[in-house]
Structure 1
Amino acid sequence: MTLNTQISSMRVDGVLFDKDGTLFDFGATWNTWAAGAIRELAQDQPDLMERIAQALEFDLLETRFHPTSPIIAETNREAAERLVRVLPGQSVEEIEHFLMHSSTDAPLAPAVPLTPFLQGLSARGLKLGVMTNDTEFGARSHLRTAGIEGHFDFIAGFDSGHGAKPDPDPLLAFAREMQLAPARVVMVGDSAHDLVAGRAAGMQTVGVLTGMAGRDELSALADVVLPDIGHLPAWIVA
């Protein structure tokens, strides 16, 4: 199959990725960071560490988020609003600032080798974007650390002025700025928030299993559920 034939038969013209749990394996990246952040916020006070962990639905013994933790898909602001209830004397803004800046040191674990993966998609003429419920600052920091920021035509966080998932508006902003029909865009994500937003935007939806959600949770909202984003190119031209 020639490249021109591949392009003419592709399902989509643009791919919009979630970040955490999609480009980067969620557990390998965020469980370690969260354990350290909880310790720092609690100043090593065991009782306070436990209260913070409960607010985040994080298992201190197993050092991992519970699959039901709302933090997996929420924005930094929503996480800060949960934490302020157990951190007297701190403001939502102070906690949000801490989360934003400390998260830049998270030990990123790419779901696949990202540079060749993204180069391959770009070579097919696809527009590429990232829409995360993290901050745009955090998103750009992580993408820059991974050496892939320049591969994306669009990068947005919940604070970029387009809204947050599961609202479809930030997804539609990608389609609008790239001049793509929403139906010719695929939203790729690891959570129900990603896929609900994609469906509401009139986009195709692909779920991946590198986050905390299982196949059963994602399959009702996705056109297909893949083990990881590495399987996406074959689906695009299938």
Structure 2
Amino acid sequence: MDGIVFDKDGTLFDFRRSWGVWAVAMLNALAEDEAHARRMGQAVGYDLATGVFDADSPIVAATNADIAERLVPHLGGQSQAEILARLDEMAVEAPMIPATDLPAVFAALRGLGLKLGLATNDGQRAARAHLQAHGVDGFFDFIAGADSGHGAKPEPGMLLAFARSQGLDPARVAMVGDSAHDLVAGQAAGMVPVAVLTGIAGEAELSGLAEAVLPDISYLPGWVQARRAG
């Protein structure tokens, strides 16, 4: 194992505690009134009353462009591009809540000689802002978003770009994520898919797609050491 490429939302950051807050703020900012906000919430798979995301919500695993597309019919007079620009701006300010002690985890992985990358369906600007806000951007050798020119997950483009940029054999790289999109992308890239349970999906949904299912990324240093020893 020479490298790890991470998903961001639901993997580095607790999904519900981070993007639930953002979803409420986003819908209220775009809506004319409470009823309008509820309708838009239904369109993007988020229930404002309960705070629950649908499993197929574009906020969970898709891109801001996909969210914008769902909102176009509810925001008359605004184009998808205009809505996307607003979503990208709001995403930068999203209050990310770490899933665990990120600096400690990344320091341990660096100590094992691993290259680290990030491949998120969020925008690259937001991704860098979130990492910088928690003082962990310097641990990463590669950061890509869905707007970085490599495509979006579940396609493997971002993952393969990480491997190429660091001169790594994809078979010796782990893809760590919280969704089926992440794990399918890892498989398509020829990487080792590893699931964590800090997103929306449960173990039953992810176990068939992953070599290992971990409670959170703090278990990765031990998993890497055990795999190397085995």
TM range (shorter): over 0.9
| Cα deviation, residue 231, structure 1 | 0.7
**What corresponds to 1:14 in structure 2?**
3
Unaligned runs of 5+ in 1: 1-11
Q: Distance in 2 between matches of 1:68 and 1:193?
A: 11
> What code does the residue aligned with 2:4 have?
V
Distance 2:77 2:198 in 1: 37
**TM-score under structure 2 normalisation?**
0.96
Q: For 1:17-32, what aligned pairs fall within 5 Å after superposition? A: 17-32=6-21
Answering whether residue 25 of structure 2 is matched by residue 36 of structure 1, we say yes
Q: Which has the higher mean CA deviation after the structures are superposed, 99-108 or 221-230?
A: 99-108
CA distance in 2, matches of 1:136, 1:64: 26
Distance (Å, rounded) in 2 between the aligned partners of 1:169 and 1:209: 24
Equivalent positions of 1:59-70 (< 5 A) are 59-70=47-58
Deviation at residue 204 of structure 1 after TM alignment:
0.2
Q: Distance in 2 between matches of 1:230 and 1:80?
A: 34
Q: Deviations over 1:108-128 (max 9, x none)?
A: 110111111111111111000
Structure 2 CA distance for aligned equivalents of residues 216 and 58 of structure 1: 22
CA distance in 1, matches of 2:178, 2:145: 16
Superposed displacement of residue 46, structure 1: 2.1
User: Aligned letter for 2:211?
Assistant: D
In structure 2, what is the equivalent of residue 100 of structure 1? 88
1:225 correspondence with 2:219: no
Of all paired residues, the percent bearing the same amino acid is: 55
Tell me the equivalent position of 1:86. Answer: 74
Contiguous gaps of at least 5 residues in structure 2: none
- Superposition pairs of residues 111-130 of structure 1, within 5 angstroms: 111-130=99-118
- Report the AA paired with residue 42 of structure 1: A
Write out aligned runs for 1:131-210 (5 A): 131-210=119-198
Return the alpha-carbon distance in structure 1 between the equivalents of residues 166 and 88 of structure 2. Answer: 28
For residue 85 of structure 1, give the secondary structure of its aligned residue in structure 2: helix
Cα distance, 1:132 vs. partner? Answer: 0.1
Alignment: residue pair count: 226
Check the 8 A contact 2:64/2:84 in 1, yes or no.
yes
| Shift in Å, 1:107 | 1.6
- Opposite residue 13 of structure 1, the aligned amino acid is D
CA contact (8 A) 2:58 2:66 kept: no
CA deviation vs aligned residue, 1:122-166 (integer Å, no higher than 9, x gap): 111100000000010110011111111111000000111111100
Match of 2:42 in 1: 54
Shift of 1:230: 0.6
TM-score, with length taken from structure 1: 0.93
In 1: Cα distance, 2:91 partner to 2:124 partner: 12
Instruction: State the shift of 1:106 in Å.
Output: 1.6
What's the CA shift for 1:47? 2.4
1:71 maps to amino acid: I
Q: Which amino acid aligns with 1:144?
A: Q
Question: What letter matches 1:104 in structure 2?
Answer: V
**Once the 2 structures are TM-superposed, how far is the Cα of residue 63 of structure 1 from its aligned partner?**
2.1
